[in-house]
Structure 1
């Protein structure tokens, strides 16, 4: 599978990454999916300490222990479960990050994390302190690089200006083109990669999209798209026939921009993993196909956190 450089780092990630959040709590099934993903050429696994109270990190760590050095392992920090584990609070402090990384390393059964990501962030945070924590961890050798996971333009600008982040994970898809307005040009100019999450728009941008639409979105729509707009757009995207599957068109739309290093797709079953791999292995979009999709879809903008 094709690999792309993550920012200016020496990390080269598969253009399809495995989002581990949806692996579930069955360890055997989770391990089977991870093993199959690696066998199919995926070298980039993305988890977080928040997922299933750390159980997700444990599953990932066990599954990749024998091939750890061949893989790019990413996890996240910043959300702290309360004692009853019925909610969490936001804590981007230096002391918490330094404690949390030790817990993640133990669960992942490794002595280093390739990409450590701030799992959110607000403009009210003490951003300088957070950056200092990540820089310390780099010097200590427990993380190789760091990034943020955010869709807030004002927060992203602060980290671009003040830190050495190599990536920003953000929601991006045909149905959510907000990053294209200002964030993508900013990151491309500064040689910082985007890791795109949500590329298939909660399943709407797949061959089962209309079924998903009728089941879950028929009344409420999605983002700035009304129910009526979705019912018109999804069949039009299918009729473009750019790929055998709408899933493939959706993934390759995100990857058309060179600033996107990888698209993160979750898989809760072997079938989903198979569909994602088949989609990513289909041909890329031509410039004409890419522009045709842009004509059909909305060019959205962020209305807050600017």
Structure 2
């Protein structure tokens, strides 16, 4: 599978990454899915200390231990489980980040994390202190690089100006084109890559599209608008040997700032299918412009 450079780093990640949150806690099943991902050429695995109270990191660590030098492990920090595990609080403090990284390293059974991401962020945070924590971890060799996982333009802007982030993970899809307004161009100008999640929009942009459309709609789309959009794409593009999943994933990758699309998988079939549709030619300019014409250009209303 083709790999792309992540920002200005020396990390080269597969165009398709595995979002590990959906692996579940059945260790054998999860290991089989991760092995299938490796078999199709995926080298980028995204987890977080929040997922399944850390069990997700443990499974990822065990599954990748034998190929550690061949893969890129990304995890996240900032959400702190309450003692009774009924919820979590936001804690981007330097002291917590430096404490949490040690627990993640232990669960992942590794000496270093390739990409350590702040799992959110608000404009009210002490951003300078958070950056200081990540920079310390780099100097200590516990992480190779750090990034941000956020959809908030005001937060992203602060980290672009003040830090050495190499990537931003954000929600982006044909149904959520908000990043196109300003964020993607800002990151491109600063040689910071985007890793996208939600490209399939909860299955609405998949082969089961018409059965996945929620009655209440999705983001700025009503149910009726989604039906019309899906039918329009199917009639104008899917009939030309492009699957809905292929169009959705390649739409994101058409933007040169996007280094990889992250998809979850609860089965080996999903891994193989997503990898298969990324083979072959990228979207033509005609296809890309038609998808933009059929969908909405939306803007962020909050956190600007």
TM-score, normalisation: structure 2:
0.98
Runs of 4+ with deviation above 6 angstroms: none
- Aligned pairs (5 A) from 1:2-21: 2-21=2-21
Q: Is the Cα contact below 8 Å between 2:78 and 2:118 reproduced in 1?
A: yes
Cα RMSD, aligned residues only: 0.8
Is the CA contact 1:248–1:282 (under 8 Å) kept in the aligned structure 2?
no
Q: Between Structure 1 and Structure 2, how many residues are aligned?
A: 302
Q: Paired residue for 2:220, among 214, 218, 224? A: 224
Q: CA deviation at 1:243?
A: 4.4
Please give the alpha-carbon distance, in whole angstroms, between the structure 2 residues aligned to 1:105 and 1:124: 28
Distance 2:197 2:105 in 1: 24
Q: Contact (CA 8 Å) 1:243, 1:282: kept in 2 or not?
A: no
Unaligned runs of 5+ in 1: none
Match of 2:76 in 1: 76
Q: Could you tell me how far apart the structure 1 residues matched to 2:34 and 2:201 are?
A: 23
Q: Secondary structure at the match of 2:160?
A: helix
C-alpha distance in structure 1 between counterparts of 2:218 and 2:153, whole Å: 21
Q: 1:272 aligns with which of 260, 263, 270?
A: 270
Q: Residue by residue, what CA displacement relative to the aligned partner does 1:31-88 show, whole Å, maximum 9, x if unpaired?
A: 0000110111000000000000000000000000010010010000000000111100
- Following superposition of structure 1 onto structure 2, how do residues 198-277 of structure 1 map, counting pairs within 5 Å? 198-213=198-213, 217-218=214-215, 220-239=216-235, 240-241=237-238, 243-277=241-275
User: Which whole-Å CA distance do the structure 2 matches of 1:129 and 1:103 have between them?
Assistant: 20
Structure 2 unaligned spans of 5+: none
Query: Which deviates further from its counterpart, 243-252 or 140-149?
Result: 243-252
Asked if structure 2 preserves the Cα contact closer than 8 Å seen for 1:13 and 1:262, the reply is yes
CA distance in 2, matches of 1:56, 1:235: 37
* Structure 2 equivalent of residue 286 of structure 1: 284
Matches within 5 A, 1:128-147: 128-147=128-147
Higher mean alpha-carbon deviation, 239-248 vs 263-272, is at 239-248
Instruction: Classify the secondary structure of the residue corresponding to 1:76.
Output: strand
Contact between 2:131 and 2:163, CA under 8 Å: does it hold in 1? yes
Q: How does 1:186-205 map to 2 (within 5 A)?
A: 186-205=186-205
Question: Deviation per CA, 1:150-187, whole angstroms, max 9, x where unpaired?
Answer: 00000000000000000000000000000000000000
TM-score by structure 1 length?
Answer: 0.98
Deviation at 1:244, TM superposition (A): 3.3
Question: How far off its partner does 1:282 sit?
Answer: 3.7
Residue 69 of structure 1: SS of its match in structure 2?
helix
- Distance (whole Å) between structure 2 residues aligned to residue 190 and residue 13 of structure 1: 19
